A and B are shown apart, each in its own frame.
Chain A
Amino acid sequence: MRDRVTENEPYTGDDVKVASSSRTFVARNFTKWYWGLRGFARQRPVSAFWLAISVFLILMAISAPLIAPHEPNKPDFLNIKTEPNRSDIFGTDQLGRDYFSRTIFGARVSLLIAFTSVALGTAIGGVLGILGGYLGGTFDLISQRFLEVLMAVPGLLLAIILVLSMGAGASAVIIAIAVTRLPTTSRVLRAETMSIKETQYIDSARSIGASPLRVMIVHVAPQTVASFIVIFTASLGTAILTEASLGFLGLGIAPPTATWGGMLGEAAVTLIPDWWMVLFPGMFITLTVLAFNLFGDGLRDVLDPRARGRI
């Protein structure tokens, strides 16, 4: 990505391309994406495999109402805690709810929260980082100090007190996890911005009188996209784990909605936990985190190999 920078482009004013509609955008870029994907699969087959798994999980979550055999939240007091068998392949929980259906629906919650919180967190963190890196001065000083202090509280704890104070619920969890993503994202993008700032490309844009805002949006931000994508995918795994931990602690989405962490939390409460109640949600958490992490690794190798040791 860095290679594009070295030319001095004449400033013609139409450097901001506006897609007339998202459809046109996709259509125009479809070929590019298709070949990009094929190239990726060829270069990094393992990573592409995990991408496929991730997509599978996402599809599973989206189509949950269609594929779940039973209602996830419907209790059946005649069949409490039954072991996995032919009709309930994951067994039932302490309220007789079908565990398989709950697990599939749990994917919805976990993935939705993960993507939303990471998107929110990295977006804001990224903006903070770019602003701080580009503008420097007091703004940078203050925001950096603030984030440093934020980092002085271990991630999960920060999330815990945030959720506690906001009252448990989806939005609280999303905001809490987003906050934990702020420091890392902002730090990486800030460093990136600072080195981009030194390039001639930026100088020439500024010398023609482009305002700082324009420079940041039009010239700096696009060059940080690679790092941003890498951080995004790398954060997904952590977000899922954090959400699961919060659910386990009883701070997640309120029952009876099925969440993987919550299911494990309920299982843990009994003196002798039932093995199927423990095995399946955890398996899915692990699989999902693994899939995102390994896909993210491959993506990072391709987009920004220098970041290998960083994240």
Chain B
Amino acid sequence: MYRYIATRLIIAIPTLFVVSLIIFVIMRILPGDPLVSFLGIELDQIQQITAEERKALLAELGMDKPWVEQYAVWMGGVLRGDMGESFLRGDSISAIIAKRGLLSAEIAVLAVLIAWIIGLPAGIIAAVKPNSILDGFTSTVTVFFLAIPGFWFALLIVVAGILWFGYKAPITNIPPWVDPWRNFQMVIGPAFVVGVGAAAFIARITRSAMFEVLQEDYIRTARAKGLVSRLVLVRHAFPNALISVVTVSGLLLAFSMGGAITVEIAFVVPGLGKTLSQAIIARDFLMVQNLTLVYAGVFILVNLLIDLTYGRLDPRIRLTD
């Protein structure tokens, strides 16, 4: 087990570095003028910029130096906790991310809870009574939720809230310890939408995993021992199915992270998603770069945790060396 953990850890760190490299390179390979993309300067105005002005502008962007140096400056800062300054208002990027990140983190945790609490039982029940009305219902709902764009669902909720209840959620960033109720109101909408979408995914996977597991020989053995159906399901079938489900969680995570971004924007919640959107519109490329790094980092970390959980759940991995 230790070797398993160690291998995973050792791979994660360089992966993060390579990802940062890729992000860096992507943001610099521009089939156009950097001034156009990054400063949003109109094409016809580009001709009128003098060489000196150009140099000054590029220096401002920090882009006059060779790439290697730019990368080193950036990563050096990141490792020290300083991600540079936002083009928008010159605020420290790290500070912005920390503050808004809290809200997004809350949403994430809540969404995960909702997803598993709804998704797992739904999948299990559907598998246990295949082709029943319940199964058909779950299937339909699942398929439906997998097709709905999260941000559309979110918008519908916002519109419905306004039209039917005259309700609009608060939009200023307030940490939970200052005003838990307002904080909750902001967080619950996105968490629900993202959570339900993820629940659909989980239900589907759980159903097919349970289905497969229930065909296995050891389930027949369990029944031959005279165990009650519920015991067979819970103690024998489910743990095995769970292993399969956890394995696929990484995919779910990627899906959800992207979804969370647009959902936050739809709900007008001041989290990282909104920050990203504003940075995109304002062409604040340093912010985008850093945010992507943060997202990727979190993604790699959570995947690591998923791998470790998987290792823990499956005795075949837990108990080798």
Taking beta carbons and an 8 Å cutoff, which residues of A are in contact with B?
148-157, 160-162, 164-167, 237, 241-242, 244-245, 248-251, 261, 264, 267-268, 272-275, 278-279, 281-282, 285-286, 289-290, 293-294, 308-309
Contacts and interface: CB of A to CB of B under 8 A. Distances in A.
Given A156-B261, A290-B144, A161 B156 contact: no
B212 A157 contact: no
Interface of B: 15-16, 18-19, 22-23, 26-32, 36-37, 143-144, 146-149, 151-153, 155-156, 158-159, 162-163, 205, 208-209, 212, 244, 253-255, 257-259, 261-262, 265-266, 276-277, 280-281, 285, 288-289, 292, 295-296, 299-300, 303
Contacts of B163: 275
B147 A290 contact: yes
Given A249-B280, A275-B163, A286 B257 contact: no
B230 to A, nearest CB: 25
A161 B288 contact: yes
B155 A153 contact: no
Interface-centre pick from B144, B155, B280 (highest chain A CB count, 10 A): B155
B214 to A, nearest CB: 14
A308 B205 CA distance: 10
Nearest to B298: A154
Nearest to A275: B159
Nearest to A156: B258
Contact of A278 (B32, B148, B152, B212): B152
A282 B19 CA distance: 33
Contacts of B254: 151, 154-155
B34 to A, nearest CB: 10
Contacts of A164: 27, 37, 280, 285, 288
A151 B143 CA distance: 25
Contacts of A165: 26-30, 37
B22 A282 contact: no
A184 to B, nearest CB: 9
Given A153-B292, A164-B288, A309-B212, A245 B151 contact: yes
Contacts of B303: 152
- Among A166, A242, A268, max chain B CB count under 10 A is at A268
B208 A149 contact: no
Contact of B147 (A157, A237, A267): A237
A153 B22 contact: yes
Contacts of A161: 23, 26-27, 288-289, 292
A278 B155 contact: yes
